[in-house]
Amino acid sequence: MLAVRLFKQDPQHAKDWVNQLPSVEARRTANSFIAMEAASVDPKGASEWAATLPDNVRDKAIGGAITAWATKDPEGAGQWVNNLSGTIRDEAILAYSASVSAKDPSAGLTWAASITDPKIRESSLQRIVGTPQPGFKAAVYPTLKKRVYLLCFEADRLLLGADSRGRFACGAVLRAVLL
């Protein structure tokens, strides 16, 4: 990509050039390539730069930088992400949870569940659960399944009373959505 070639020659010129692109999607994509390239040398700096981008182009760039950082230093990336707030934090966790779930699916799910925006949280959980890595099912599925069933039974008990006689109003919905 041209943005990466420009970045290798003159990082500031590349960033300025990308900001002049007419299409928002082109700026999003080019910034993500720049962030990934920058993260190969300085993942924290790339992540900090990506966090300063305007809302409409930031998500892919922060995702690229965090993914590259989490691959090299998951603890450092996690600490940095944990200190963020608002939408930037949710965007960073989306990438971070996907990255760490490759080695530790439970940790990925825990991070994904901490996202405050419901749409981003659903997307993150779907990335992890919907496309499991090898060993994911053996590592996480039994625990996840047990927690969902316990949640279902508790929801039914609260909504239908102690004697629900096997009817699963809320439980059936939860099981259909989560399993």
Per-residue pLDDT tens, the chain, 179 aa: give them.
787 888 888 889 989 898 899 999 999 999 999 999 999 999 999 999 999 999 888 999 999 999 999 999 999 999 999 999 999 999 999 999 999 988 888 888 889 888 998 888 888 887 777 755 566 556 666 666 666 666 666 655 665 555 555 444 555 554 455 55
Model pLDDT, residue 43:
93
- How many other β-carbons are positioned within 10 Å of the β-carbon of residue 99? 21
Strand positions, DSSP E, the chain: none
Annotate 67-82 with DSSP letters as a single string.
HHHHHH-HHHHHHHHH
d(CA 64, CA 41): 13
Model pLDDT, residue 157:
61
- How many other β-carbons are positioned within 10 Å of the β-carbon of residue 164? 16
Strand positions, DSSP E, 50-130: none
Helix axes 2-9, 24-39, angle to 10 degrees: 50
| Of the candidates 9, 57, 12, the residue with the CA atom closest to the CA atom of residue 32 | 57
Helix axes 105-113, 136-160, angle to 10 degrees: 40
Model pLDDT, residue 102:
84
- In total, the chain counts a number of residues equal to 179
Q: What would the two tokens of residue 64 be?
A: 């690229």
CA 167 to chain centre: 35
